[in-house]
A and B are shown apart, each in its own frame.
Chain A
Amino acid sequence: MGRWLAFLILALAASGCAPVRPWERDALARPDMAWDPDPLGAQLGDHIHFSKEASLGGGPGGGGGCGCN
């Protein structure tokens, strides 16, 4: 699965998609296109998953410790 995704990403990046110009960015600028449109919800979800599952959350940002895991 992981290998397949890596291939997909590389293929997309290498396909030479033309750069999107600043004035074409209205869709990308939408709040619902953010990585985390609801930061508090994402924070709580990550915290619960971190404390109930074994995995370390991914993505940018440093994790803070807590006594839950």
Chain B
Amino acid sequence: MRRGRAHRAAMRRARQRRRHRRRLARRPSALVRALTASALALPGLAFPAAADSPPTQAQSDYHYSRYSEDAVESKKVAAGSERNRYEIDIHQFRFETGLSDRVGFGMDITHEAMSGATPWYVTPGPRGEPVQVMTAATIDEARTDALLTGDYYLDRGKVTLTGGVSSENDYLAFNAGLGGERQFNDKNTTLSAGVAASFDRITPEDTNKYPTRPKEENKQSYDVYLAASQVLGPATIVQTSVKYQLATGFLSDPYKLAYVAGAPETDERPDLRNQVSWLTRFRHHFRAAKASLHFDYMFYADDWKMYSHTFTLAWYQTLFDRLQLVPSVRYYSQSQAEFYEPYYLVPRSDGYRSSDYRLSPYGAYEYGIKAEFPFELWSLNWALSAAYERYVSGADLALEKVDVENPGLVSYNLFTVGVTGRF
């Protein structure tokens, strides 16, 4: 007993000594400050400790991904309906380079080819349970998305300008953004802020076949964000950011219907949506383990009375000084939109209706693993990567109890292979 107490006291003293030593080693003494001030008075030595600069090497990345959704369970789908859901082939290309010691340039191009059936509307089944009706399986679509990024680097910050276009056979969107960041406190604190806007035009297909579909609609969205990051220690950094988005115009889904009092009707949502997301990201490096821990948490809320929580955890493990293995998990839970119902027995007084599974209450978990292997060839630096992710959603995975599960909830597999080159 007495020995235990003495041992604990000794441990405490040792801890105090260690803490004391850390303090000593961390705070530069008056002597160091005096010498540094005097040294910085010498010609040429007062350059900023480290100005951020554009990439000194050009870098190019290519990823190919195969996204495939699980087929809908037969008990959840209307008899005779298609069960196979979306398959998407995704090609991503990215290029970034420094144009001068102040200017950086980046380009992202994505091409997706999609095919398969999507949820169309939900009907009540024999026992009142919701049953999914799918669209026909032959939707073949392609989307191409291009984004240009320009960075101008300042001594303690940078300004970023982006412009992009996204095009589908039934959709065209232009977006632009302006952002800036500035470092303070010897680069220990970074504040950033930005604005962005997107202008989208929707021209639904097959309007002859489905006369209730709108012929042409528009929507606009405007974003503002504020972010602050803080270095907490030599291996720890945290960032928190708030983003607000105002979306106006046609926010409904032209291809979805809602089953109201016995008949499928067009999807009708408010033409205004105020959304806020608050994201906090934490990074810590474990030197001994040669690994970095990433933890992200996001809270989201909007004026359709939806809110959600997202938790992401990833472990970046370096092995044999080269190979990187990244296992990750993600958990997501959302509430439903105020006007959502799987189907409507009576119309709502405000006229809104949507049975889109994306507005339904549910939870989802995701896990994945990624491996990256860097190597040298022709005196250039390359890296090969491969990743697999599995996403599963369900009403019983939600944080709060859900009475009725939407039958259209999605689960998918995602395979990715990639190559990176630095010149």
Residues of A within 8 A of B23 (CB): 18
Residues of B within 8 A of A20 (CB): 186, 188, 231, 233-234
Q: A56 vs B306: C-alpha distance in the bound complex, in angstroms?
A: 11
Partner of B195 from A53, A55, A62 at Cβ < 8 Å: A62
Q: Are A9 and B173 in contact (CB under 8 A)?
A: no
Partner of A44 from B65, B306, B391 at Cβ < 8 Å: B65
Partner of A19 from B173, B200, B231, B297 at Cβ < 8 Å: B231
Segment with Cβ contacts to A, from B72-80, B120-128, B130-138, B281-289: B281-289
Q: Are B63 and A35 in contact (CB under 8 A)?
A: no
Q: Are B283 and A65 in contact (CB under 8 A)?
A: no
Binding site secondary structure of chain B: strand
Residues of A within 8 A of B241 (CB): 58-60
Instruction: Across the interface, name the chain B residue whose C-beta is closest to A24.
Output: B234
Q: Are A41 and B416 in contact (CB under 8 A)?
A: yes
Partner of A65 from B63, B108, B175 at Cβ < 8 Å: B175
Interface size of A by Cβ–Cβ distance < 8 Å? 49
Interface string of B278-310 (1 = CB under 8 A from A): 111101010100011000011110100010111
Interface string of A36-59 (1 = CB under 8 A from B): 011111011101110011111111
Binding site secondary structure of chain A: loop
Residues of B within 8 A of A59 (CB): 225, 227, 241, 243, 279, 281
Q: A17 vs B232: C-alpha distance in the bound complex, in angstroms?
A: 6
Q: Are B324 and A21 in contact (CB under 8 A)?
A: no
Partner of B198 from A18, A39, A62 at Cβ < 8 Å: A62
30 contacts between A and B (CB under 8 A): A1-B297, A2-B278, A12-B238, A13-B230, A19-B186, A20-B186, A21-B186, A27-B234, A32-B291, A32-B318, A35-B281, A35-B283, A38-B372, A40-B63, A40-B94, A41-B387, A41-B418, A48-B67, A55-B310, A55-B332, A56-B243, A56-B277, A56-B300, A57-B243, A58-B300, A62-B175, A63-B245, A65-B175, A67-B170, A67-B171
- Please give the residue numbers on chain A whose beta carbons come within 8 Å of chain B beta carbons, in ascending order: 1-2, 5, 9, 12-13, 17-22, 24-25, 27-28, 30, 32-33, 35, 37-41, 43-45, 47-49, 52-69
